[in-house]
Amino acid sequence: MENVNIKIDGIEISVPKNYTVLQAARMANIHIPTLCYLEGINEIGACRICVVEIKGARSLQAACVYPVNEGMEVYTNSPAVRKARKANLELILSNHDRKCLTCVRNRNCELQKLAEEFGIKEIRYDGSSDPVFALDQSSPSLVRDNNKCVLCRRCVAACANQAVSVIGLKNRGFVTEVGCAFDAPIFETSCIYCGQCIVSCPVGALYEKDDIPKVQKAIDNTEKHVVVQTAPAVRAALGEEFGLPMGTPVTGKMVAALRRLGFDKVFDTDTSADLTIMEEGTEFIERFTKGENLPLITSCSPGWVKFCEHNYPEFINNLSSAKSPMEMFGAVIKSYYAEKQNIAKENIYSVAIMPCTSKKFEAQRPEHSSSGAQDIDASLTTRELARMIKEAGIQFNELPDEEFDSPFGEATGAGVIFGATGGVMEAAIRTVYELLEGKPLENLEIAPIRGMDGVKEAELTIAGKKVKVAVCHGTKNAKALLERVKAGEKYDFIEVMACPGGCVNGGGQPIVSSEDRVGKDIRVERAKALYAEDRSAALRKSHENPVIQTLYDTYFEKPCSHKAHELLHTTYTKRNKF
């Protein structure tokens, strides 16, 4: 890339020709505040917080969209710039429901931070207190409070980036708001509850449905046996809520915290991820041998499943009927575990800690009650767990590392990598290969399906046959891949995760501000924690997990047995697109 020479606040710097003023300023270590800007997702120059003075230009320009050119002179801290930024911020604040103390984003809010940085002491404009927007609490996963909304459109862009696009801006003037067409509540739309809107929101206009009270109530009820499971991606990100660097694995501390919160048993969802691999792998072998309903498409990601049901019902038969690890665990806890421990399943309260908001929806799907009760009683996000830990006064960083409880504490590295894009496929291949070949797989790490390319492919030879697999993450990439399949491209096995990067970047994960995302890829950093745990695991293949072997020997008999089908498999429903 060709470079151009520009001058920012008197500093001469050479930057790539395709840079914006904002990128150039960052290169020169000059801070330009932003609000609506979210790198790679929303770059529209709408909020005017990043305005700068450019010599020769008629008016102030938005740095986030203004391209650099040779000889340009930029001033980021002139009186005109400071005055305009402050006025713009005051105007945004004038319409904002400024109840910071009771806001879910208190101390993690980009608007609050700007107000502090700009030294806002008063807001000179009255704004409009009318209308007061009603909260949209229609879904089991998300809540929208437009009284907090700053109309930055980051959520709208994130939704479009997922090829879901159920939200948009509507009306104009003071009544402008973000919402669904025809003012439909989000529950009535094809929203997949991935929560990418939440993690994109700079303020408290979007958050998960708060399920802490019902979990707390169950813990406080001494008659309830409260069991908790934690998904792999949670351990890779929970530490961020307590100031630890991104990508710090906190498995042991997390287990200790859960125990201190009063959960009776702390289990690892990785164990049931191993179970999912056994079921799904067996299902693949069956389908592959018969050549039926190929490609087999993974179904662990509830956002992806709902996306498929709404937009690609013709692929429902391709979805693996194996439940997600969370739901398999739910069914096993209220059947096998309840019987073994001699606890009535009515007295078990089953909680899942997930990096995901869509899991809240999955948990209440009527199909997921194969134990005779709702298999999962509550699904909390990583953020909700962090809030519980803070509220309980637990000093997270000082906790000792503790181990998961038996009998479901043992998991393999294959289960751990479920949390990153490509992980399910890699885990499945490790098992499918050995089941079909009858000999150990030499290289366990399958590089072509790791990493952050939108669609990744690999061709393997297993038992003398070619197996073509594809991995994609982000439903936009899933859409692109499925269109290729519709056009005739042949695959045998496809992994889809709804969120970009997979569960590590799920909608229930700690929120990273636009500024903190600069220069690093959250998805890569968090995934590193999982791959490190896999590498150091004693067992790295699902079928070698002794817990799983015992489960089959004493309960399910074999993968995809009649009993396994009853408890560990599910069905899907065609849903409308609009």
Partner 1 sequence: MAEKKVPAFQGTKEQEAQLKEVIAKHKDSKGALIPVLHEAQEIYGYLPVEVQTMIAEGLGLSLADVYGVVTFYAQFSLYPKGQYRIAVCLGTACYVKGSGDILDKFKERLGIDVGECTEDGKFSLDATRCIGACGLAPVLTVNDDVYGRLTVDDVDGILEKYGF
Active site residues: 280, 283, 300, 320, 359, 362, 367, 503
What are the structure tokens assigned to 387, written together?
A: 């809030």
Contact range with partner 1 by CB under 8 A, out of 17-25, 159-167, 248-256, 496-504:
159-167
Sheet with strand 493-497: strands edge to edge? 296-297, 493-497, 465-473, 455-462
Handedness of CA 148, 151, 152, 154 (dihedral sign): positive
Q: Per the structure block, which two tokens stand in for 190?
A: 């094809």
φ/ψ of 467, rounded to 5, equals -120, 120
Interface residue with partner 1 among 137, 138, 165, 293 (CB under 8 A) is: 165
**Integer Cα distance of 37 and 366 in angstroms:** 40
d(CA 232, CA 238): 11
Minimum CB separation of residue 164 from partner 1 in Å reads 8
Helix (H) or strand (E) holding 210: none
126/182 with CB nearer partner 1 = 182
DSSP string, 332-395: HIIIIIHHHHT--GGGEEEEEEES-SHHHHHHT-TT--TTSS-S-SEEEEHHHHHHHHHHTT--
**Min dist. Cβ of residue 44 to partner 1 (A):** 14
Instruction: Return the number of the residue (169 or 344) whose C-beta is nearest partner 1.
Output: 169
Compute, in degrees rounded to 10, the torsion defined by CA atoms 471, 475, 478, 480: -130
Q: Determine the size of the site formed for partner 1 (CB under 8 A).
A: 14
Q: Phi/psi class of residue 347: alpha, beta or left (left: φ > 0; alpha: ψ in -120 to 50)? A: alpha
Question: Contact 314/352 with Cβ under 8 angstroms?
Answer: no
State both tokens at 504: 């590590």
407 binds partner 1 (CB under 8 A): no
Our finding on whether 160 is near partner 1 (CB under 8 A) is: yes
Task: Find the binder of partner 1 among 181, 344, 392, 447 (CB under 8 A).
Answer: 181
Residue 488: phi and psi, rounded to 5, are: 115, -5
Nearer to partner 1, 96 or 153 (CB): 153
Return the range that interacts with partner 1 (CB under 8 A); candidates 177-185, 262-270, 311-319, 489-497: 177-185
The first and second tokens of residue 141, run together, are 């996963």
Q: Closest CB to partner 1 among 91 and 160?
A: 160
Residue 166 in the binding site for partner 1 (CB under 8 A): yes
| Least distance in angstroms from the C-beta of 130 to partner 1 | 15
Nearer to partner 1, 127 or 168 (CB): 168
Among positions 180, 199, 237, 254, the unique one binding partner 1 when judged by CB under 8 A? 180
Considering only residues 11, 57, 87, 169, which one is a binding residue for partner 1 as defined by CB under 8 A? Answer: 169
**Beta carbons within 10 angstroms of residue 219's beta carbon:** 18
Tell whether residue 174 is a contact of partner 1 (CB under 8 A).
no
Q: Which stretch binds partner 1 (CB under 8 A): 139-147, 163-171, 265-273, 494-502?
A: 163-171
Spatial distance between the Cα atoms of 496 and 304, rounded to a whole number of angstroms: 7
- Figure out which of the listed residues 170, 214, 224, 260 binds partner 1, where binding follows CB under 8 A: 170
CB 30 within 8 A of CB 11: yes
Residue 57 or 169 with smaller CB distance to partner 1: 169
Residue 314 interacts with partner 1 (CB under 8 A): yes or no: no
The verdict on 168 binding partner 1 (CB under 8 A) reads: yes
Query: Using the rule CB under 8 A, which residue among 12, 70, 116, 183 binds partner 1?
Result: 183
Give me the least distance between CB of 183 and partner 1, in Å please: 4
Would you say 24 or 155 has its CB closer to partner 1?
A: 155
Q: Tell me if 470 contacts partner 1 by CB under 8 A.
A: no
Q: How far is the CB of 578 from partner 1 (least distance, A)?
A: 5
Looking at the Cβ atoms of 93 and 159, the one nearer to partner 1 is: 159
Q: Considering only CA atoms, which of 420, 422, 446, 421 is closest in space to residue 433?
A: 446
451: contact with partner 1 by CB under 8 A: no
Interface residue list for partner 1 (CB under 8 A): 160, 165-172, 180-183, 578
